[in-house]
Amino acid sequence: MPVPGTPVPSLVDSRSRGAQQANANAAIGKNGILATGPGSRSAQRQAAGGTITASIPRLTSPTAPPPGVPARTWLRGFARRIRITDHIIVIAAVAIAQVVRFGTTDHALLSTSGITLRYTGLSVAIALAWLAALKLESTRDIRIIGAGALEYQRVIHASVKVFGIIAIAAFLLDLSIARGYLAIALPIGMLGIVVSRWSWRRWLVTKIKRGRFITNVVILGSGRGAEDMIRSIRRDRGYHIVGACVPGDYQERSGDGDLEVDGLAVPILGDEHSVLAAVRRAKADVVAVTATERLGADTLRELAWELEAEKTDLVVQPGVTDVSEPRLKIRPTGGMPLLHVEAPQYQGAHRLGKALVDKLGALVALAILGPFMLLIALGIKCQDRGPVLYRQTRVGTAGAEFAMIKFRSMVIGADSQQHGMAEHNEADGPLFKIRDDPRVTPIGRVLRKYSLDELPQLLNVLRGEMSLVGPRPPLPREVASYTRRINRRMLVRPGMTGPWQVSGRSDLTWEETVRLDLSYVENWTFMQDLIILWRTARVVMKGQGAY
């Protein structure tokens, strides 16, 4: 399952009988972890912080894993619940469509080709085809259930394909299927399935937060690769690291029986030859491998076979980060499956489609929110007779500067006072943030809390300078300090909202903001935009993390 609230890519569990296939499949999957390659012992110590004291917390003993239902048990139950819910919704959708369109009378579906079929039979056929499509599209695969955007996207694709096939079949067989019947069944069923998947995901996240559902993990590897994987896993409450198996020479050098990472001591359960014993001892659900270059293809293949018998998943870090499943393709080269990382989708027709949606969305939002925005403007004007709008130079696509428009939330001349307040800055990196900024007006505090000061940016969206969803629009002085990595944020238009808005807002560190924005740019999809817009509405209503 994904990290709650974070749009990141996933690990894929693999029970393959081929080492290379296990390597490739492990690039993506069910829990949002991708780590970097292994490093030296000195790099490992440096990443761990250098100084380790005796107060380092040690993980629970591997012979006594934390309370909670292990993954091999709860995943089957969760998939079964989703399957039952899908069946109920699909059957209900076609039944409602038939009753609404024809009432309780079972009308005949006539064809000029001499084929006669009643609508009850058609409803049964559509329901069976719909459920089959959901299965064939792997919408209930344990790798993606609870994954959010990717799961919803597959559900929509499966549903649209079914009705597309029905339309083609009706044309070829000259069947007179009532369009109203299909127009009712498709949206009801598709929306119902997406809402049910969202509801089950919320239920799953609650269970994970309470420690009810866990996935026990054993790390196989050492050095920086193992440390990075441990850090990634610790960000997800659904995973629990029960120990590590490290190469024998590393064990001899460490000598303390623990793998120390950021103040956490992970018990070392053995070397690369004792993984199976460690899995049995720790009751592990997953073995995460980072030391592929030490193990070799033959050893990894043998390990995959052994773990398959134990019903334990094998995942292998591919050495790439923040890349989502649609961009990862497995292609055989010279008899060996290789993982190909495709270019980001934000180009060509996708770019034009996003721009069109932005402009239409901005027009609709202005039409609905226009009167409310006039009231806000009146309140700002009555407060101190100053200007209603505040214009600030920001940097957009490809480094082009533009004037971003906001409702003024600070006193007149606030910019000139910032230099003298530098010592009170609470943000890291090039950002400037003060939680209780004295320059903010009383009305401005309310506007900032609920992000109402950003509504005039709808005009920037109409002018093509911004998008409804995108990376945070940076200041020119921030861009001046950007590295080549951070510059990739400007491959797309900055957004009124984005992953930073729904994942902490002003409470995020600079590095977290950059990571979320880069992940968005690299893995953009329309479905992700819709989910961010939905989550933005919820976050803004709560008024948390904004100042």
Match 């930073």 to its residue by tokens.
Answer: 500
* Token duo for residue 276: 């199976």
Is the predicted pLDDT of residue 37 greater than 50, yes or no? no
Q: Identify the DSSP state of 345.
A: S
Is the predicted pLDDT of residue 290 greater than 80, yes or no? yes
Kind and range of the H or E element at 291? none
Give the burial class of 521: count Cβ atoms within 10 A of its Cβ; 0-12 exposed, 13-18 middle, 19 or more buried. Answer: buried
How would you classify the pairing of strands 264-270 and 258-261? antiparallel
* Mean pLDDT of all residues belonging to the chain: 76
Domains and CATH numbers, the chain: 19-49+57-66+214-341 (3.40.50.1980), 73-209 (no CATH), 349-542 (no CATH)
Residue-wise pLDDT tens digits, 88-116 = 999 999 999 988 888 877 666 655 555 66
Q: Identify the DSSP state of 56.
A: P
Predicted pLDDT of residue 518: 82
User: Which residues lie closer than 8 Å to 162 by C-beta, 6 or more apart?
Assistant: 126, 129, 130, 133
Rounded CA gap, 162 and 132, in Å?
9
Is the predicted pLDDT of residue 58 greater than 60, yes or no? no
pLDDT range class, residue 149, cuts 50, 70, 90: confident
Count helices and strands (H / E) in the chain: 18, 14
Q: Averaged over 158-170, what is the pLDDT?
A: 89
* Token duo for residue 297: 């293809």
Query: Range with the lowest mean pLDDT among 66-80, 348-362, 420-434?
Result: 420-434
Rounded CA gap, 363 and 243, in Å?
55
pLDDT range class, residue 366, cuts 50, 70, 90: very high
Match 């971003």 to its residue by tokens.
Answer: 404
The residue that leads in pLDDT, 24 or 159, is: 159
Predicted pLDDT of residue 158: 92
The backbone torsions φ and ψ at residue 212, rounded to the nearest 5 degrees and listed phi first, read -75, -40
The predicted model scores a pTM of 0.61
pLDDT range class, residue 68, cuts 50, 70, 90: low
pLDDT range class, residue 321, cuts 50, 70, 90: low
Kind and range of the H or E element at 489? none
pLDDT range class, residue 248, cuts 50, 70, 90: low
Predicted pLDDT of residue 390: 92
Predicted pLDDT of residue 129: 93
How would you classify the pairing of strands 239-245 and 215-220? parallel
pLDDT range class, residue 38, cuts 50, 70, 90: very low
* Token duo for residue 508: 């995020």
For the chain, how big is the Rg over CA atoms in Å?
Answer: 27
pLDDT range class, residue 12, cuts 50, 70, 90: very low
Q: Averaged over 499-507, what is the pLDDT?
A: 73
**CA-based torsion, 198, 203, 207, 210: positive or negative:** positive
| Four-CA torsion 35, 36, 42, 46, nearest 10 degrees | -60
Q: Which amino acid is at 478?
A: E
pLDDT-above-90 percentage for the chain:
21
Q: Averaged over 204-218, what is the pLDDT?
A: 83
Match 């994904």 to its residue by tokens.
Answer: 2
Rounded CA gap, 36 and 42, in Å?
16
Predicted pLDDT of residue 361: 93
* Token duo for residue 301: 């293949």
pLDDT range class, residue 41, cuts 50, 70, 90: very low
The most confident of 6-10, 43-47, 204-208, 330-334, by mean pLDDT: 204-208
Residue-wise pLDDT tens digits, 420-467 = 676 666 665 566 667 777 888 889 888 988 889 999 999 999 999 999
